[in-house]
Amino acid sequence: MKQYICIGRRVFVWFFLVAGSAWGQPVSTPGTGLPQALFRLREMDLHLHAGLERRTDLESWIHTMVADGRRVILLLDHLELYRKTPQELMEWNKKNQFPGVYPTGKEGRNALMQDFQEASDRRRDVILFRGWEVYEGELDTGLEPEPMDMAEVIGWHVSPRNGQKAPDGKDLIRRVKQIKATQNRFPVPMIVFHPFSMRLENLTRTAIHAGCDPKTLTVEECRFFQAGEQEELVRLLAGASIYIEMSLDHDKYWDHPAMQQAMMADIKPLAERGVQFTIATDHHSPASAAKSFHPERYCLPCGVDEANTNTIVRELLALRAKKSL
């Protein structure tokens, strides 16, 4: 009986967050109309590493994020790390001074997801979701269904491809098409992780390697999209449960005038035309968590606001409530 009472209370809470005072009100545009149920930008982190690279216990790691203002967190880890052999994992842990909190393979994946679930059940000061970060190349080479079936969210790691051609609009459009096809098998919300900042990382490193000052990069060189690509991406994402991430990495390029102008030109038209975004730190360790996190600094000028970025939270709460029933 207690179990059913608990489930009932959770469904009520989730329904309240999703419905709020919109009961009986006209239907509004998705992601808007419920200001009292919105989380502020810095209260959300839909990309927090909490697995094999974790340098502290999970409870303390979550507490660090909550103390800094987070109220909604997606806990995840890199899926490919669990494909290491036991010997490779041992050497990797030793090299990076990781504590070795999980074994490799299926046993490690199950233990990680169990810890995430128990933390979600236990905490009352934060909403926790669980997921994986999967390398984008697996969309080409093949996917591993068993662990992906355990996720509430799947994020796709867009690589900066340092030393090669930087990611651009053509690449993103191709990946979104593949992700849409993938959702036929894995019907969960999916996020394209940090595509814009990865291009800027590549351009910055390439300039430095060539002995040039990155400040000499022009807006045209920093632009992610070519003519017509934004419109095509908007069409692909219309009505889809696919989001684009605004990570903390954007902050380190924001004070570069050309990069700032390029980001605004690339991102704002998408947000204005209904493309949905997520907010994230992409923290891996307490050292990275020491960085200041003020996503409004670079999100709001790009048109990415609270109404837009809360859409995925509402979707996840609704899916979780439905599953509880």
User: What are the φ and ψ backbone dihedral angles of 292, each rounded to 5 degrees?
Assistant: -65, 135
| Domains, the chain, ordered by start | 35-312 (3.20.20.140)
Give the separation between CA 16 and CA 318, rounded to whole angstroms: 10
pLDDT in tens, the chain (325 residues): 444 444 444 444 444 444 443 333 344 455 555 555 589 999 999 999 999 999 999 999 999 999 999 999 999 999 999 999 999 999 999 999 999 999 999 999 999 999 999 999 999 999 999 999 999 999 999 999 999 999 999 999 999 999 999 999 999 999 999 999 999 999 999 999 999 999 999 999 999 999 999 999 999 999 999 999 999 999 999 999 999 999 999 999 999 999 999 999 999 999 999 999 999 999 999 999 999 999 999 999 999 999 999 999 999 999 999 988 8
Helix (H/G/I), strand (E/B), else coil: 238: coil
- Contact present, 289 and 281 (Cβ < 8 Å): yes
- Give residue 220's identity as a one-letter amino acid code: E
> Alpha helices of 20-104 — where are they, by DSSP H?
58-67, 86-96
Q: What is the chain's Cα-based Rg?
A: 20
Predicted TM-score (pTM) of this structure: 0.89
- Residue 298 near residue 267, CB atoms below 8 Å: no
Quote the CA–CA distance of 259 and 264 in Å, as a whole number.
9
- Distance spanning both ends of the chain, measured CA to CA: 15
